[in-house]
């Protein structure tokens, strides 16, 4: 069936920072086609930019598709993008006939052509993994917030036995140094004060012998850029140069998200992580030696196949040894096609629930303690959004804590100095200091 070409769009991104970045680039792309952003209820085209990392993500996509039908029986043009699109491919329009477009995470630069094909009544599908082709074909960044993501690396060659990323995002590949510097400059020109370099394995980035530490060093010279962050890293790629950057680069924020997954060497081996609990702790020691105030964050998986009580206790011991400022912890989710999905020793759901609660309780206590220890500090915060109350703004400390502050005359994008006056588990309250400081 032929249909009118869409004039408006809505993009819903799920999952990681890379999906957020991809969603922004699709917005740039569709805006260049003179399409305008609209609400999900009103848009002519709805893009579901999906995540496949855990649980029944695919099932959720099908229920989301069903909910797009409108009261008068009509529906928008529907595109499924992201990792579920890559993993499920042609199965999606077979199961959900209302889907017009299926586009993988490496092919979304072709969205305008796919939209034309769908408007002509064809079912449009592109699941190529052409590496970096899309970046050269996307429009320049024009409208961004105070804090922006910049994808520098895609894909993963690590093949952790539980993870779908190597299958949905393809092989590890780095964007060129020059392309990244150009995009960073465009982001700063468009209003970004902070850039977070993102990649599935961001610290595996390299170009002609330069590592991520060298890239961060080069970004330090960018006039108008105040803060640099990077995520997500793998312990095996914490190079000497990257650790040194934490000592040498003033704009690099004292925060490191370094997923460990488990504290048991037996489980880490079964996960194919290629680091041990002790080697992880020694990396943290080296980073802390050069940047003593650094906040450490991590990811954990609870209930990986074969995880015994002593294995789980080893995770709790590692958590005590490191002391985390924040962390994400997940129940193991058997992902179809990954080795772990068919391993012996799948753990009972009630055991996983109980372990997750215990782990989260320790991690929450550590996070609260980290925030409480910040009270009394004077620091810069970058204002990123409005708070719930009139005149209230929310900014981030160098350690990625949210701070609520009343700051008359200040605006989103400003860097202001505050005294941290009180702390809760998830955020702090700040009082503005009249004279601007640059503590970070």
Binding site for ligand SAM (CB under 6 A): 16, 53-54, 162-163, 165, 200-201, 232, 234, 259, 261, 299, 301, 330, 332-333, 335
Q: Which one, 338 or 401, has the nearer CB to ligand SF4?
A: 338
Residue with tokens 């797009």: 68
Angle between helices 240-248 and 277-290 (to 10 degrees): 30
Give the residue, chosen from 89, 131, 145, 166, that forms a contact with ligand SF4 under the rule CB under 6 A: 166
Find the binding residues for ligand SF4 in span 201-260 (CB under 6 A): 201, 234
Which among ligand SF4, ligand SAM, none contacts residue 47 (Cβ within 5 to 8 A by kind)?
none
Q: Does 200 bind ligand SF4 (CB under 6 A)?
A: yes
Give φ, ψ of 78 to 5 degrees: -120, 125
**Three-state SS for 240?**
helix
Which residues fall within 8 angstroms of residue 178, CB to CB, at 6 or more apart?
Answer: none
Q: Which one, 139 or 339, has the nearer CB to ligand SF4?
A: 339
Q: Which one, 93 or 303, has the nearer CB to ligand SF4?
A: 303
Residue with tokens 């140094």: 177
Quote the tokens at residue 202.
Answer: 């961001």
Rg (CA), the chain: 22
Which among ligand SF4, ligand SAM, none contacts residue 159 (Cβ within 5 to 8 A by kind)?
ligand SF4
Q: Does 30 bind ligand SF4 (CB under 6 A)?
A: no
Q: Does 158 bind ligand SF4 (CB under 6 A)?
A: yes
Q: Does 160 bind ligand SF4 (CB under 6 A)?
A: yes
Angle at CA 283, nearest 5°, toward 282 and 284? Answer: 90
Q: Which one, 200 or 402, has the nearer CB to ligand SF4?
A: 200
Name the E strands within 224-282: 227-231, 255-257
Q: Does 163 bind ligand SF4 (CB under 6 A)?
A: yes
Q: Which one, 201 or 402, has the nearer CB to ligand SF4?
A: 201
Helix (H) or strand (E) holding 245: helix 240-248
Q: Is 250 exposed, middle or buried (0-12, 13-18, 19+ CB in 10 A)?
A: exposed
Q: Which one, 16 or 144, has the nearer CB to ligand SF4?
A: 16
Tell me the closest approach of the beta carbon of residue 201 to ligand SAM, in angstroms.
Answer: 5
Which DSSP string corresponds to 359-375? HHHHHHHHHHHHHHHHT
Which among ligand SAM, ligand SF4, none contacts residue 332 (Cβ within 5 to 8 A by kind)?
ligand SAM
CA dist 259 and 324 (Å) reads 11
Q: Which one, 231 or 402, has the nearer CB to ligand SF4?
A: 231
Tell me the closest approach of the beta carbon of residue 25 to ligand SF4, in angstroms.
Answer: 20
DSSP code at position 175? -
Quote the tokens at residue 149.
Answer: 């993501």
Pick the stretch among 61-69, 151-159, 309-317, 322-330 that binds ligand SF4 (CB under 6 A): 151-159
Q: Does 156 bind ligand SF4 (CB under 6 A)?
A: yes
Quote the tokens at residue 297.
Answer: 């964050």
Pick the stretch among 66-74, 114-122, 136-144, 155-163 that binds ligand SF4 (CB under 6 A): 155-163
Tell me the closest approach of the beta carbon of residue 336 to ligand SAM, in angstroms.
Answer: 10
Quote the tokens at residue 36.
Answer: 């305008």
Tell me the closest approach of the beta carbon of residue 278 to ligand SF4, in angstroms.
Answer: 19
**Three-state SS for 328?**
strand
Which among ligand SF4, ligand SAM, none contacts residue 335 (Cβ within 5 to 8 A by kind)?
ligand SAM
CA dist 308 and 302 (Å) reads 11
Using CB under 6 A as the criterion, which residues of the chain lie in contact with ligand SF4 when the complex forms? 156, 158-160, 163, 165-166, 200-201, 234
């Amino acid at each position: 069936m032929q249909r009118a070409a869409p004039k408006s769009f809505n993009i819903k991104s799920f999952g990681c920072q890379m999906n957020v970045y991809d969603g922004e680039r699709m917005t740039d792309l569709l805006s260049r086609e003179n399409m305008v952003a609209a609400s999900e209820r009103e848009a002519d085209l709805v893009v579901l930019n999906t995540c496949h990392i855990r649980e029944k993500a695919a099932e959720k996509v099908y229920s989301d598709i069903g909910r797009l039908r409108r009261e008068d029986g009509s529906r928008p043009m529907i595109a499924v993008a992201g990792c579920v699109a890559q993993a499920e491919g042609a199965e999606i329009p077979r199961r959900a006939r209302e889907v017009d477009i299926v586009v993988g995470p490496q092919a979304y630069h072709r969205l305008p052509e796919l939209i034309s094909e769908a408007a002509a009544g064809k079912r449009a599908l592109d699941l190529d993994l052409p590496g970096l082709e899309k970046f050269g074909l996307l429009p320049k960044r024009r409208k961004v917030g105070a804090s922006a993501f910049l994808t520098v690396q895609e894909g993963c060659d690590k093949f952790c036995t539980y993870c779908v990323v190597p299958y949905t995002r393809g092989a590890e590949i780095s964007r060129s140094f020059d392309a990244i510097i150009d995009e960073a400059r465009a982001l700063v020109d468009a209003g970004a004060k902070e850039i977070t370099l993102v990649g599935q394995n961001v610290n595996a980035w390299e170009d002609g012998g330069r590592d991520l530490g060298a890239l961060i060093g080069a970004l330090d010279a960018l006039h108008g850029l105040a803060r640099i962050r990077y995520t997500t890293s793998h312990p095996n790629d914490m190079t000497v140069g990257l650790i040194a950057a934490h000592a040498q680069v003033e704009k690099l924020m004292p925060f490191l998200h370094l997923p460990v997954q488990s504290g048991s060497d037996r489980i880490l081996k079964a996960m194919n992580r290629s680091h041990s609990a002790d080697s992880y702790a020694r990396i943290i020691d080296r980073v802390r030696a050069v940047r003593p105030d650094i906040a450490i964050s991590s990811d954990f998986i609870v209930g990986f196949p074969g995880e015994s009580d002593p294995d789980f206790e080893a995770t709790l011991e590692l958590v005590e040894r490191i002391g985390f400022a924040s962390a994400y912890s997940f129940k193991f989710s058997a992902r179809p096609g990954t080795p772990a999905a068919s391993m012996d020793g799948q753990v009972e759901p009630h055991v996983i629930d109980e372990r997750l609660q215990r782990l989260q309780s320790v991690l929450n206590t550590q996070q609260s303690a980290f925030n409480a220890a910040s009270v009394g500090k004077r620091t810069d915060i970058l204002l990123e959004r409005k708070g719930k109350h009139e005149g209230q703004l929310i900014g981030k400390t160098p350690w990625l804590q949210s701070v609520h502050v009343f700051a008359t005359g200040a605006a989103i994008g400003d860097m202001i100095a505050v005294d941290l006056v009180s702390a809760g588990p998830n955020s702090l309250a700040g009082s503005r200091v009249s004279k601007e400081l640059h503590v970070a």
